Amino acid sequence: MNIENKIALITGSGRGMGRAIALGLAKNGVKIALTGRNQDLLRKVAKEIEDIGGNSKTFLLDVTDDYQAEAVSKEIFEEWGSIDILVNNAGVILYDKPVWETTLEDWYFIMDTNLKGTFLTCKAVLPYMMEKGEGYIINIGSSSGKEPDDEYGPYAASKWGVVGYTASLAKSLLGQGIIVNGINPTWVDTDMARAYIPEGDPEWVTQDEISDAVIYLLTKAPTAMTGKFIDIF
């Protein structure tokens, strides 16, 4: 697909992978709807996009809130007349807690953002894509969604859910012109990862590699490819 002048909604785009994806798409001529819960961070990314000649707008969005998901999607559509690309990137994690010590509060904290948030944003954006008869959805999973982990129980469960939901959604949309795929990265060098391991790791995936994978799925992946994940681990 030629993505120049397409409209992309990216969740959690104020920092980390979301920021990198936004910048990568902007460099390819995509108009970016930057969404997240911190307006200051979103504005910084918008300035970076402006500095490279790109086009973006910021929208406050808590992906766990169904009303906000629908309202922001409507606002973006009314602003630009289309939502062609959705990247569900927003995510949270809790470190170093055995699965059996998971509290109900821990469970909902992770599930609400990682899985429910993905569902709500897809649900809000899909009517616009279906009306147009085309669209691309990319859900960010994790290697934890393919390989069990003993210390990140709710996170792993949420990402297994994202993988399953992506496959099911893709199958349900066959014939509608909407392609749904995802990316399962291992540790990515972000501020969230370095909050846990400050020194980082040379084997971590870079943010630009995630951005490149998104661009590949949008521009070079076979058009028949849907319901699949690129594993980067």
Distance between CA atoms of residues 225 and 91, nearest Å: 25
Cα end-to-end span (Å), the chain: 26
Residues constituting the chain: 233
**Nearest one of 56, 7, 60, 20 to 37, comparing CA atoms:** 60
Q: How many CA atoms lie within 13 A of 34 on its CB side?
A: 33
CB neighbours (10 Å) of residue 126?
20
If you write DSSP's letter for every residue of 121-173 in order, what string do you get?
A: HHHHHHHHHHHHT-EEEEEE--GGGTS--SSBHHHHHHHHHHHHHHHHHHHHT
Chain centroid to CA 34? 11
Cα–Cα distance, 194 to 84 (Å, whole number): 33
Q: Specify whether 196 is catalytic.
A: no
Catalytic residue among 128, 136, 152, 155: 155
Positions marked catalytic: 155
